[in-house]
Amino acid sequence: MRVYNFSAGPSMLPQPVLERAREEMLDWRGSGMSVMEMSHRGSHFNEIARNSEAALRELLGIGEEYYCLFLQGGATGQFAAIPMNLLGERRKMDYVVTGSWSKKALAEARRYGEVRVVASSEQDKFTTIPDPSTWQIDPDAAYLHYTANETIEGVEFPFVPKTDLPLVTDMSSNLLSRPLDVSQFGLIYAGAQKNMGPAGICIVIVRQDLVRDPLPVTPSIWDYRLQAKEGSMLNTPPTYNWYVLGLVLEWLREQGGVAAIEKRNIEKADLLYQAIDRSDFYHNPVDPRYRSRMNVPFTLADPSLDAVFLKEAEAQGLVNLKGHRSVGGMRASIYNAMPIEGVRALVDFMQEFERRYG
Ligand code: PMP
């Protein structure tokens, strides 16, 4: 019995992907071995790695002027790797702070140079995005960093900020959920474990001309230039995770790509937000213009019912709805792999729960 898993990550994978992985577990396409047993230098894994990069490039329309790297250390590793690789002579970086994850990225960057907060929504409890016309961008900074989707607070940028600086964005929780014009960015990064695959692999899409001399302290495994030269295999990569990520990308292609999945994501998010807004029992605090399509936090009017809500939801196969400890309440993460039936089941449960306890 599979449940509807609303976890923020690691999260649901498309069932056909898991079935395919199961079919290929003992013998990957006539090789006589599992992907887990393959040499990362061998021709079989080479094919897996190249195909997944090609699929990613095709899905997002990534130009030749960008490297696509498949790295370890998660998005948290990139919080450090980005300043290490992109600071160069400039030594200064600009950050927009719209939630817990951008705050963490900023704290890590502080270890490597001078960081400025160009705008913050902390005084609004991270429920909105500061008006871009008020952002104080430093023209001498090495780059401008923002978090496209704040996984904890459920705040998502519906626009791409305009700046002359190289634009760097954390898309850990919304990459591949909607079309994207990659050419507007200097660097895009995303941990795989939400929308793309299992944990343990992080995608970095970076414009080649930005990859210059890294800071001398940079570990080789996070040196973009070295990793690009080595096809992201400077050391042994997480081969099985990379393979499953490739299966997810193939699945996404079969779904019609990012434009088709965006339609479904809009439909799912609308369904859930409408259910929340229709009721006085449930509440979402985020500025409606910036509500995330991926992570939907909500509270109950009576928080003493939280535990009962979670228990009854779980009994109906709706799991991992507990909100992040810093925000409380509930959070439903509805990434690409969450079918609309899962959101319908959640909405039905919420209405029924309100009838009984509201
Ligand atoms: N950024 C965002 C937006 C995230 O949601 C997360 C994970 N929840 C991270 C960064 C950290 O990712 P990782 O655990 O892969 O380091």
Contact present, 159 and 144 (Cβ < 8 Å): no
How close are the terminal C-alpha atoms of the chain, in Å? 30
Residues ≥6 apart with Cβ < 8 Å to 181: 61, 160
Predicted confidence at residue 106, as pLDDT, reads 98
State how far the Cα of 192 lies from the Cα of 190, in Å rounded to an integer.
6
What is the four-CA torsion angle of 321, 155, 126, 151, rounded to 10 degrees?
A: 50
Ligand 1: nearest atom to the Cα of 171: 3
Contact present, 17 and 251 (Cβ < 8 Å): yes
Ligand 1: nearest atom to the Cα of 193: 15
Predicted confidence at residue 163, as pLDDT, reads 97
Quickly count: other Cβ atoms within 10 Å of residue 106's Cβ.
Answer: 21
Ligand 1 center to residue 154 CA distance, Å? 13
Kindly write down the DSSP assignment for every residue of 271-331, as one continuous string: HHHHHHHH-SSEE--S-GGGB-SSEEEEEESSGGGHHHHHHHHHHTTEE--BPPTTT-SEE
Residues ≥6 apart with Cβ < 8 Å to 289: 128, 129, 158
Predicted confidence at residue 32, as pLDDT, reads 97
State how far the Cα of 65 lies from the Cα of 208, in Å rounded to an integer.
6
Q: Which residues, judged by CB distance below 6 Å to any ligand atom, belong to the binding site of ligand 1?
A: 9, 74-76, 101, 147, 151, 170, 172-173, 191
Predicted confidence at residue 110, as pLDDT, reads 97
Q: Active-site residue 101, yes or no?
A: yes
Kindly write down the DSSP assignment for every residue of 15-31, as one continuous string: HHHHHHHHHTSSSSTTS
The H-or-E segment that residue 283 falls in is strand 282-283
Q: Active-site residue 170, yes or no?
A: yes
Gyration radius of the chain over CA positions = 21
Q: Which of 318, 285, 290, 321 is nearest to 306 (CA)?
A: 321
pTM: 0.98
CA-proximal residue: ligand 1, atom 2 (nearest): 172
Q: Active-site residue 103, yes or no?
A: no
Ligand 1: nearest atom to the Cα of 9: 8
Sign of the alpha-carbon dihedral angle for 324, 327, 332, 335: negative
State how far the Cα of 193 lies from the Cα of 196, in Å rounded to an integer.
6
State how far the Cα of 156 lies from the Cα of 294, in Å rounded to an integer.
8
Could you report the per-residue pLDDT of 47-101, keeping only the tens digit for each? 999 999 999 999 999 999 999 999 999 999 999 999 999 999 888 999 999 999 9
State how far the Cα of 95 lies from the Cα of 264, in Å rounded to an integer.
31
Residues in the chain: 358
State how far the Cα of 340 lies from the Cα of 216, in Å rounded to an integer.
49
Ligand 1 center to residue 335 CA distance, Å? 14
Contact present, 282 and 299 (Cβ < 8 Å): yes
Q: Which residues of the chain have pLDDT under 70?
A: none
Q: Residue 71: helix, strand or coil by DSSP?
A: strand
